[in-house]
Amino acid sequence: RLNKVREAVAYVQKDEKLVAGMYRAVKHDDVTAAVRKPFIEQGIIIVPKVLASTMTDSTAKTGKGFTIWRYEARFEISFVNMDDPADRVVVELDAHAMDEGDKAPGKAVSYATKYAMLKLLNIETGEDEESRVTSGKPGVPEIPADDPIRKKIEEIASFPALQAYWKTLTTEQRKAYAQIKDAAKAAIAKADEEASK
């Protein structure tokens, strides 16, 4: 049954717009839309299950000062034959998400389900995941390390300088780099705190 779905869906086009240097990615809804009909035709349902999870303070803040929370979880994504529920393929994977409200768990399960579908079904997306560089800092989106705006924000060492540079960016750029700015603010605050000890 899963192989029939693989035959029906070979590629999902990236649909997320490239904004201010951010990478494009295939959205959860794009993948779901591509596989929904073949899954229904083959009688396969997807059952996500949280095996373990944690919610922690990322130390980053939004522009309005709200805490950005990091939700991490280990998921079990089951692809189940609806005519014989014992006939299933189970994929286990980790996922995390950031949010200042209550949406992080939902984002994480969507991410886990999307990647379980992509990898199990060998669906091509055109994404070059291996070439993306992350900073390893919580709250920082996957923008290339050599991106000039990212580099500039990360080099700024004071709140006034960060605020002045932020004002030079367009609305689209501010949206794209908001989490990087929040992480930079947290780093500046931490450095100031260490210096005052």
Q: CA-to-CA distance for 128 and 144, rounded, in angstroms?
A: 12
Taken as a whole, the chain contains a residue count of 197
Question: Taking the model in full, what pTM does it have?
Answer: 0.62
Mean per-residue pLDDT over the chain, rounded: 83
In this prediction, residue 131 carries a pLDDT of 42
Q: CA-to-CA distance for 73 and 53, rounded, in angstroms?
A: 4
* Residues 49-64: tens digit of each pLDDT: 999 999 999 888 887 8
The conformation of residue 147, written as its DSSP 8-state character, comes to -
The proportion of the chain whose per-residue pLDDT surpasses 70, expressed as a percent, equals 84
> Looking at this protein, which amino acid is placed at residue 48?
P
Distances (CA, A) of 165 to 29, 36, 38, 128: 35, 45, 49, 30
The conformation of residue 66, written as its DSSP 8-state character, comes to P
Cβ–Cβ < 8 Å for 77, 90: yes
**pLDDT for 97 beyond 50:** yes
Nearest residue to 119 via CA among 129, 131, 108? 129
Cβ–Cβ < 8 Å for 79, 89: yes
**DSSP secondary structure string for all residues of 106-131:** HHHHHHHHHHHHHHHTT-B----GGG
- Strand extents, DSSP E, the chain: 44-61, 67-81, 88-99
